[in-house]
A and B are shown apart, each in its own frame.
Chain A
Amino acid sequence: QKEVEQNSGPLSVPEGAIASLNCTYSDRGSQSFFWYRQYSGKSPELIMFIYSNGDKEDGRFTAQLNKASQYVSLLIRDSQPSDSATYLCAVKGNSGNTPLVFGKGTRLSVIA
């Protein structure tokens, strides 16, 4: 059973701080890693994806991948109250037929 683990939170950070969200996965053959943001009552919105070890930056967001440790993280710099949402980590294997496997999500609360 392929699993993706996330701390359910809530993770509370003050406005302007860095929020760090973490995810571990069980399938060592996983190749593609995604972060989705989901506001309450809405559908998931893709915010970052990463395929190679290291860091990938997009605006205030940085995804970090360490395949040896089977660990992927998302950093949100200068956190804003509008960043308050549930962040879902999703992992995909190396075959086109393997599905996206999601974690349960981490709820982030940015306090003004």
Chain B
Amino acid sequence: DAGVTQSPTHLIKTRGQHVTLRCSPISGHKSVSWYQQVLGQGPQFIFQYYEKEERGRGNFPDRFSARQFPNYSSELNVNALLLGDSALYLCASSPDVHYEQYFGPGTRLTVT
């Protein structure tokens, strides 16, 4: 079975630009979560969605937004990029909000 997929793999953007990251969960999984991981740190929670509804939001500014589509795929949007947004963005899927999460390969975002 296919695991979690994310696109793109790598991305280079300039400060002030906007970026959209995409995620497709494992087949049958209805919950998607987004995390940001900077070097030397554990993943930091950004959003969780279940059945197209936001179920949790981490301590990130309003420049970060996300949504989940009827097919359970999801996208993360970041506006007005800052240098500090450079990180590995991880998507994780789970059958529902109570179960273990499986990560995709991540999108490496570099902001210059």
Contact = CB atoms under 8 A, between A and B. Distances in A.
Interface of A: 4, 32, 34, 36, 42-46, 49, 88, 90, 96-105
Given A34-B100, A100-B45, A105-B42, A42 B33 contact: no
B33 A99 contact: yes
Contacts of B101: 34, 46, 100
Q: Which of A44, A90, A98 has the most CB of B within 10 A?
A: A44
Interface stretch (B11-19, B61-69, B70-78, B90-98): B90-98
Given A44-B103, A96-B98, A104 B42 contact: yes
A99 B41 CA distance: 17
Nearest to B59: A1
B84 interface: no
A42 B100 contact: no
A44 B41 CA distance: 12
28 contacts: A34-B100, A42-B105, A43-B88, A43-B90, A43-B103, A43-B106, A44-B43, A44-B90, A44-B103, A46-B100, A46-B103, A88-B42, A88-B43, A96-B97, A97-B55, A97-B97, A99-B48, A99-B56, A99-B58, A100-B35, A100-B43, A100-B45, A101-B45, A102-B44, A103-B42, A104-B40, A104-B42, A105-B42
Contacts of A88: 42-43
Contact of A96 (B55, B103, B104, B105): B55
List 6 tightest A-B contacts by C-beta distance, closest first: A102-B42, A96-B97, A99-B45, A43-B106, A43-B103, A49-B100
